[in-house]
Chain A
Amino acid sequence: MALPLSKIRDLSFKTSIYGIEERIVLDIGSCYLKCGFSGEARPRHFLSMFLSEEALDDYLGLNAISEQHVGHECGESCNLRSNQNCRGINPYEYAELYQLDMMRKNSSGQTEQERLQILEERLADYLNDVYFKYLLTDPKQRKVIICESPLAPIALKESIAKVLFEKLQVPSVSFTPNHLLALLTTGTATGLVIDCGHLETTVLPIYSSRPLMPFIRTTPRAGKFLSTHLKQLLKEKCPISLVDNPTDLRIIPEGMLTSAFLETIKTRLLFASPLIINARDNIGEDEMNNNYRDVSTSTEVNVEVWLHEEQARGKLAIPGWIRERASECLFNGDEDAESLTDVILETVSKVPSDLRRPMISSLLLIGGTAQLPNLQNRLLQEIRRSLQTNKRWKALSGLADAVRFLDDFTPAEASLAAAAAAATSTSAAGLGASSSSPMDVDPETSAPPRTTTRDKDPRKKKKDQPKKVYQSSGKVFMPNCRGWIGGSLVGSLKSSGPELLRENFTGTVPDWSTFTVVSASSGLYSSQSTSSSSTGLHQQQQQPLHSEGTLAASALSISY
């Protein structure tokens, strides 16, 4: 993957002694950390910040270990289970590396300062492992690209920079927006990127490689939300039966439902149901669950667990309907937390009107929760259905035929038909089962996509440019790696967001809104700094319109 020599020479005006080295690309999420070298097609390592697999076996397998082992893969810092730091007195269960609201006191009563200290120590541990256990490379030699989530707390950025510069002494760090990086992996630079991660889902329109930050929208309906919902379902609907005495049922002990346990269930057993069920207004949750149960065609899965209190093996039966319907919580919204569908359509409705069609026909779903099987197909159906039936989105209803994900092929292609076929069998079965059930199955949307696409296809060809054939590479990259892969691409082209050099690091990363020069972009960078973005408006109005080239030149650095 090395550049030809001639190209390297072209770039030499920018190269330092590290210039021709590949950079380190890091994508640090709240649950997983991806790391690797630029110029490579996939991250080298994808590390979990959950409990070690061995510790998980304490629940899932049958290691009758009495003490709950809370902690990361402790390794050097505490390799003894008897170590008091690893014995459940740890104030933080290793679920998320950070929270979105670092400033608030959390449930364990830690102050902001304590939490920052914990964050920094964990980051130091993880990043040390990244360099010396996984990437096996000298941190002093290579520049770093961070795929940053645009709304991640500034304290996180600061801690990352601090650990990288002070502990590991990397030469430079550049923070580059994750959504844009992900979009570049589709070969396009315009689209609506939906990052469905753990803490939140962020929807960001990008036009011609410029993130349109004022239009960013978020919803907490994401991985953690799903985990919480799953936890509730497991607690209420899934008693544990003792292996030795199957009629003896127990409620799942709270202590078992750790985030790592939930993550296991989530990543191994859940998927998004291909069948949409239209709920009557005011339908009760229990009734809805019964409906789900009635139409479910998925199998029940038994998970063996160890009941500590009883000192006995137990069997946790997770019914098929929970496996397919736990993720419904992502598609149902309320005022506090909009559904994925609504947050996407909300974004589309807010962008300038001539951008709506380009945006909705270039959706890109990324992030860890996007790995949930069938989530994207389901989301596509939901968006179409909302456009057709939801009064709130009436103004956008004309876009229903344009909805498309960038990594889907053109409707004519066989792949979609195959995907539709899979959905057909399911929904047909679902329809059959539901014929006597009290709910109202929406014929339009629950119909297999095949028929839908056949209907829409000719119309689309008339409206759009006649020879519009989608040139998509399909599912070549995993949604949870796209951001990283974009970072790797950009890094191999010696481009990125602006670099922060070690010698200039003073302990803070530039909070771009405080720079007078860059105040114009602050609104772009952070949705919180609305005051400075109005200053930006003022400045910009005095600027003559730039040529297209210059504007495009802003592409990657624009967000700063």
Chain B
Amino acid sequence: MLAIDAPPGQGKTHQPFVHYRCLCSSPGSSATASTKSSSSSIHDHEADSTAAGTSSAADMNIDNTAASSSSPAPSSAGALIVRASPTSHESLFSEHHNPRSTEEIFASGNSSDEHGSMSLSRLYFCDSCGEIRCPKCTQDEIVCYYCPNCLFDVPTASVKSEKHKCSRNCFECPICQNTLSVVSDDPDVSLYTPGMTTAAGQYHLSCNMCQWNSNEIGMTFDKPTGLAVQLQKAEDGLPDVKEFGRLKDHLEKYFRVHGLKQGLPSSLLSSIQSGTLQSLRYVSSTNHKAQQSDDIAHYTPAVQVVEDTENLEKLMSITSLDETTSMKQRLLQLQNQTYSTQRLQPQRIHLRIKKSRRCRSCRHILVNPEQKAQATRFKINLVALNQLPNITIAHIQPMIVQTVSTVILRFTNPRQEEAHVSLEAGDGANPNHGVRILSENFTIAPFNEVWEYEVGTLTAPPGQAQEDVYDKTANSTSIMLYITPVAPGEVKIPLFVTFSFKARKLQTETGSPKLPSQLVLSGAAGRDSMPPAPEVEYVDKKVSFWTVIGFGDAVPTLSS
């Protein structure tokens, strides 16, 4: 039995982690919490964009297009004024800094809620919403089909008729599902040219992994090409397909005779009123003539398939598990789901798709791969890793209750612009561990490809004051945290991160003209397509999000 009241953390150890939280995930499971969190997310988003709008107008001293476009309705313009009266930064911050929401966010960071928060690598960042997006609040769409084996693109038109399988020479082994190769009995025939005369049935399929060979099931081919078509034809000519066709014709007649197709809505009423018990009365008062006329006694099947009695005899005398097919093998051959490994057939390789991913809130595309199977690039790739500061735990001391431990957090800037970060520890968490952040505001140098090859500490550029941080290296800044666990068990703290930067907006952006909002960084500004600016423009962008950082398990002090 599980000891319910054992202190948390006993029995298993917790590893340190850094999780980012998507606002879509509701803490707990209650619907009210979900609405609350989503509405607050919308609210934050507004605050975000207004803040960005005002500051960009002020800083850039350009005309008001950005700000006005960011306030689509008068009411929200009003909100803008209200919010703008204190410094926009403070108001935004207090919006998030609310014990209740901290608690919720913290609750969602607990490990049993795997969707509540997750590592940055699994998240996206929607530019136009200015929000983190997780797999749950994005939506997949199909971009193109391809065969994972031969990497040929398959045109959408032929995908369905080929049953979403490769129609070239790509097959998988019925035993181990590895790729089969077409081999010839005649070792001299390495190249086949059409019109060449070959021995009948000299080609077969062979597995290099498990040594399965299609000769074993008597499957040979005269030519090394067009195998897929032959296999598919064979599959489509099986008894179940024939019988299905016959049934369809038969039922169509039956449905028509009995008016089943008279549109559902109108006949629904009458059918329902004639339902249950009355139909039974009807049933029991009718004789078998009625049954005959109405029933499908006249059905003549297209095929008659005899049960496989060999099956049972064989099964009674097997001595090892390998003599019968596994469910996996069987379920890849649904026409007969055979128990006999000798009856398994090679399968054509199933196609795959490339997907694009959309933000569910604003419908903008977050990820869009190039349409060709062999291309590995993305036209749009708004993964969070490329856009948000990457937080890692660079150094950690063991956690001991009521003892100060030092943690070094490293923030890495993936952007090509310098970034400013401010941090705030959430204080609504339970247990509320003591947290002291030594540098709550700091900057991170921009990412520069050159730095990828350099190692060493970066000295501050001349003319800029040395910041009070633990360390600065290339495009990352490390800061120090003092953690004082108050209770044994896993130590996790919610940390609110505000990340701001000046984004360069290029007029010669290579993206398609339809997608300016993907490239414009201010959320609200993206709603209208802006006239191309004559010069390099800068947009201030500010992003706020919650993270949950785990520091592993705290052990009780010796004294306690």
User: Known interface pairs A187-B250, A549-B259, A554-B271. Does A475 touch B306 (Cβ–Cβ under 8 Å)?
Assistant: yes
Q: How far is the CB of B439 from chain A (nearest CB, A)?
A: 30
Give 1 or 0 for each of A210-240: 1 = CB within 8 Å of chain B CB: 1011100000000000000000000000000
User: Across the interface, which residues of A come within 8 angstroms of B273, CB to CB?
Assistant: 520, 539-540, 543
User: Across the interface, which residues of A come within 8 angstroms of B335, CB to CB?
Assistant: 42
Contact of B14 (CB < 8 Å), options: A53, A84, A303, A418: A84
Q: In the complex, what distance in Å separates the CA atom of A523 from the CA atom of B279?
A: 12
> Chain B: which residue is nearest A89 at the CB level?
B12
Q: In the complex, what distance in Å separates the CA atom of A433 from the CA atom of B374?
A: 66
User: Across the interface, which residues of A come within 8 angstroms of B282, CB to CB?
Assistant: 545-546, 551
Cβ A473 vs Cβ B164 within 8 A: no
Q: How far is the CB of A139 from chain B (nearest CB, A)?
A: 9
> Chain A: which residue is nearest B319 at the CB level?
A299
User: Across the interface, which residues of B come within 8 angstroms of A210, CB to CB?
Assistant: 279
User: Most B CB atoms within 10 A — which of A167, A495, A551?
Assistant: A551
A77 interface contact, C-beta 8 A: yes
Cβ A85 vs Cβ B29 within 8 A: no
Segment of A251-259, A261-269, A306-314 engaged in the interface with chain B:
A261-269
User: Across the interface, which residues of A come within 8 angstroms of B278, CB to CB?
Assistant: 540-541, 543, 545
> Chain A: which residue is nearest B321 at the CB level?
A303
Segment of A93-101, A149-157, A350-358, A391-399 engaged in the interface with chain B:
A350-358
User: Across the interface, which residues of A come within 8 angstroms of B260, CB to CB?
Assistant: 495, 552-553, 555-556
Cβ B164 vs Cβ A44 within 8 A: yes
Cβ A320 vs Cβ B267 within 8 A: no
Give residues 124-148 of B contacting A (CB, 8 Å): 135-136, 139-142, 145
Cβ B264 vs Cβ A187 within 8 A: no
Q: In the complex, what distance in Å separates the CA atom of A409 from the CA atom of B264?
A: 36
> Chain B: which residue is nearest A14 at the CB level?
B263
Q: How far is the CB of A161 from chain B (nearest CB, A)?
A: 16
User: Across the interface, which residues of B come within 8 angstroms of A137, CB to CB?
Assistant: 142
User: Across the interface, which residues of B come within 8 angstroms of A187, CB to CB?
Assistant: 246-247, 250-251, 296, 299, 301
Q: How far is the CB of A217 from chain B (nearest CB, A)?
A: 16
Contact of A352 (CB < 8 Å), options: B111, B284, B294, B353: B284
Cβ A476 vs Cβ B301 within 8 A: yes
A128 interface contact, C-beta 8 A: yes
Contact of B294 (CB < 8 Å), options: A13, A208, A297, A421: A208
Q: In the complex, what distance in Å separates the CA atom of A488 from the CA atom of B240?
A: 13
Q: In the complex, what distance in Å separates the CA atom of A396 from the CA atom of B339?
A: 37
User: Across the interface, which residues of A come within 8 angstroms of B269, CB to CB?
Assistant: 517
User: Known interface pairs A536-B275, A552-B260. Does A184 touch B304 (Cβ–Cβ under 8 Å)?
Assistant: no
User: Across the interface, which residues of B come within 8 angstroms of A271, CB to CB?
Assistant: 312, 315-316
Cβ A485 vs Cβ B271 within 8 A: no
A494 interface contact, C-beta 8 A: yes
B75 interface contact, C-beta 8 A: no
B15 interface contact, C-beta 8 A: yes
Cβ A521 vs Cβ B275 within 8 A: yes
Q: In the complex, what distance in Å separates the CA atom of A422 from the CA atom of B313?
A: 7
Cβ A11 vs Cβ B276 within 8 A: no
The interface size bin for chain B is 35 or more
> Chain A: which residue is nearest B351 at the CB level?
A136
B328 interface contact, C-beta 8 A: yes
> Chain A: which residue is nearest B276 at the CB level?
A524
Give 1 or 0 for each of A67-98: 1 = CB within 8 Å of chain B CB: 00000000011100010110101010000000
Give residues 420-446 of A contacting B (CB, 8 Å): 421-422, 425-426
Q: In the complex, what distance in Å separates the CA atom of A476 from the CA atom of B122?
A: 46
Segment of B211-219, B285-293, B426-434, B448-456 engaged in the interface with chain A:
B285-293
> Chain B: which residue is nearest A320 at the CB level?
B316
B283 interface contact, C-beta 8 A: yes
User: Across the interface, which residues of B come within 8 angstroms of A278, CB to CB?
Assistant: none
B277 interface contact, C-beta 8 A: yes
User: Across the interface, which residues of B come within 8 angstroms of A39, CB to CB?
Assistant: 248
A489 interface contact, C-beta 8 A: yes
Give 1 or 0 for each of A5-33: 1 = CB within 8 Å of chain B CB: 00000010110000000000000000000
Q: How far is the CB of A536 from chain B (nearest CB, A)?
A: 6
Segment of A113-121, A281-289, A335-343, A450-458 engaged in the interface with chain B:
A113-121
User: Across the interface, which residues of B come within 8 angstroms of A386, CB to CB?
Assistant: none
> Chain A: which residue is nearest B311 at the CB level?
A373
Q: How far is the CB of A131 from chain B (nearest CB, A)?
A: 8
Cβ B301 vs Cβ A554 within 8 A: no
> Chain A: which residue is nearest B304 at the CB level?
A474
Cβ B267 vs Cβ A419 within 8 A: no
A298 interface contact, C-beta 8 A: yes
A41 interface contact, C-beta 8 A: yes
Cβ B247 vs Cβ A185 within 8 A: yes
Give residues 298-350 of B contacting A (CB, 8 Å): 299-309, 311-313, 315-321, 324-328, 330-331, 334-337, 339, 350
B295 interface contact, C-beta 8 A: yes
Could you list some 23 contacts between A and B, CB below 8 A? Answer: A13-B263, A41-B238, A44-B164, A132-B353, A133-B352, A134-B350, A138-B141, A187-B251, A214-B277, A264-B327, A267-B327, A269-B315, A352-B280, A354-B287, A419-B307, A475-B305, A476-B240, A494-B261, A521-B272, A543-B278, A546-B274, A550-B271, A554-B279
Sample of 7 further A-B pairs with CB below 8 A, known A14-B263, A523-B277, A546-B274: A76-B135, A87-B12, A354-B284, A472-B301, A498-B268, A537-B276, A545-B278
| A residues whose Cβ falls under 8 Å from a Cβ of B | 1, 11, 13-14, 37, 39-48, 53, 60, 76-78, 82, 84-85, 87, 89, 91, 113-114, 116-117, 121, 124, 128, 131-138, 167, 169, 184-185, 187-190, 207-208, 210, 212-214, 263-264, 267-269, 271, 274, 297-303, 320, 324, 352-355, 358, 371, 373-374, 409, 414-415, 418-419, 421-422, 425-426, 471-478, 480-481, 485, 488-490, 492-495, 498-499, 517-518, 520-521, 523-524, 533, 536-537, 539-541, 543, 545-546, 548-558, 560
